[in-house]
Amino acid sequence: MSKARQQSRPRLIQAMIDAFGQPDLRRKILLTIALLVIFRFVAHVPVPGADVEAMKALIGGGEGIGALVGMLDLFSGGAMRNVSIAAMGVYPYITAVIIMQLLVPVIPRLQAISREGEAGRARINQYTHWLTVPLAALSAYGQLMMLQQYGIVSNVGLSGGSLLPTAAMVLAMTAGTMFLVWLGELITEYGIGNGVSLIIFAGIVSTLPEIIRGGILAEQTGGGLLSLLIFLLLALAIIVTIVIFTEAHRRIPVQYARSLFRGGRMYRQSGATHIPMRVNSAGMIPLIFAMAMLIFPGVVAGFFVGPVGQENFANSIVNLFSSGSWLYWALFFFMAIGFTFFYSMVIFQQQNLAETLQRQGAFVPGIRPGKPTQQYLTRVITRITWGGALFLGIVAISPFIIEQVTGIHTLIFPAIGALIVVGVALDTMRQLEAQLLMRRYEGFLK
């Protein structure tokens, strides 16, 4: 094929053609797609004895516990709606990863293991998998107890004739989660991109047809074409903002002093580079933290709710911590900001940049190595984290803002899902870009 014809094509299309033209890259891409298709099939396998129609009716109610379950369904890619064995997705594994990240700097034994290179990382990963199993089992039992209150599942308990059916359902949901984690690791090892992130990505993207259908329904039920247009414009603005803040970073200049021996003499050679410090260094983890904290009271209260229409304390807690409450969104905003600072500082302390720079003979111009460099970098990360924290706070409450502005209540814009989708898409494109550049092809990005 002529070079002029290649240059006439859009860069993205040409990059895809180049990628499929390489047998190893084509194999990785097709394997990734095949494993994601398997995930979507598993998302439609129901838990033994579950009433799928009752679950759809509960989510369709859109109030109280229905709103809570609907939010969980959004991030499980519809698996919760189907009462699937994959209803928990890979979130127990993500919780285990977060717990291990917080425990490593606290427990000296884990800290020593983490410094053992590749073997240490493999050991920490093994501990994370072990921790995922009890977390998945507890989450499965909690979900089943909550769903039993609404007749979606039955015979859930730990005594008498309920023990065996409960064990079967909990085992099925735990196995579903671990199977998805295994699929994710296969994608990471043999495919393109981070497998676990792509599992979440595929689940969120699969809900887009339902979101579009909800938009059409909103227009037909009185939302109006103007409201729908405003909704789409606001959603587009949020997506653009997410892309900007995901890529935004501050460059800290760094100089290296190298010693070279040449002809029996030693020469000093200086090199300059920079450290990119991201505005949103915490990613979507603070939002997952905040959402888990907000969902927890509603899930616990769901064990004790009364019949539909009967008011008691548990019902009030469920309604208070549902997405229709002002308190829910206010807490979500401030908790997102707080967790952003907390997680960013934890990650920054683990990196120990000042010590690494000093060990490599590098320094920030105008700043003395050692403790002064550490203090300078801490000030910088604190300042830029304010931008990232406010950004995540606004992303967290953007569904509420859009709903208030447009008046559309039947359509939910998954801003957190958009943040995950954008981050995963950019990371996957970078990895494919690197694969293409290694083979001397142009990639996706400029």
Residue-range domains of the chain with CATH: 26-206 (1.10.3370.10), 211-415 (1.10.3370.10)
Query: Where residue 422 falls among pLDDT bands split at 50, 70, 90?
Result: confident
Query: Where residue 112 falls among pLDDT bands split at 50, 70, 90?
Result: confident
Query: Where residue 178 falls among pLDDT bands split at 50, 70, 90?
Result: very high
pLDDT of residue 134: 92
pLDDT of residue 346: 79
pLDDT of residue 427: 77
Instruction: State the Cα–Cα distance between residues 343 and 282, nearest whole angstrom.
Output: 6
pLDDT of residue 34: 92
Condensed to tens digits (0 to 9), the pLDDT of residues 57-98 reads 776 655 555 556 666 676 676 777 788 888 888 888 888 887
Lowest mean pLDDT among 161-175, 287-301, 349-363: 287-301
SS3 87: coil
Q: Copy the structure tokens of residue 283.
A: 């990613």
Under a CB-based contact definition with an 8 Å cutoff, are residues 381 and 201 in contact?
no
Q: Which is it for strands 249-262 and 265-278: parallel, antiparallel or unpaired?
A: antiparallel
SS3 163: helix
Q: Copy the structure tokens of residue 446.
A: 């400029």
Q: What is the DSSP string of 387-423?
A: HHHHHHHHHHHHHHHHHHHH---S----HHHHHHHHH
Higher pLDDT, 175 or 430: 175
pLDDT of residue 206: 79
Please give the average per-residue pLDDT across 335-343, as a whole number: 88
- Closest residue by Cα to residue 403 from 335, 331, 325: 325
Is residue 43 scored above 50 in pLDDT?
A: yes
**pLDDT, the chain, mean:** 76
Query: Where residue 199 falls among pLDDT bands split at 50, 70, 90?
Result: confident
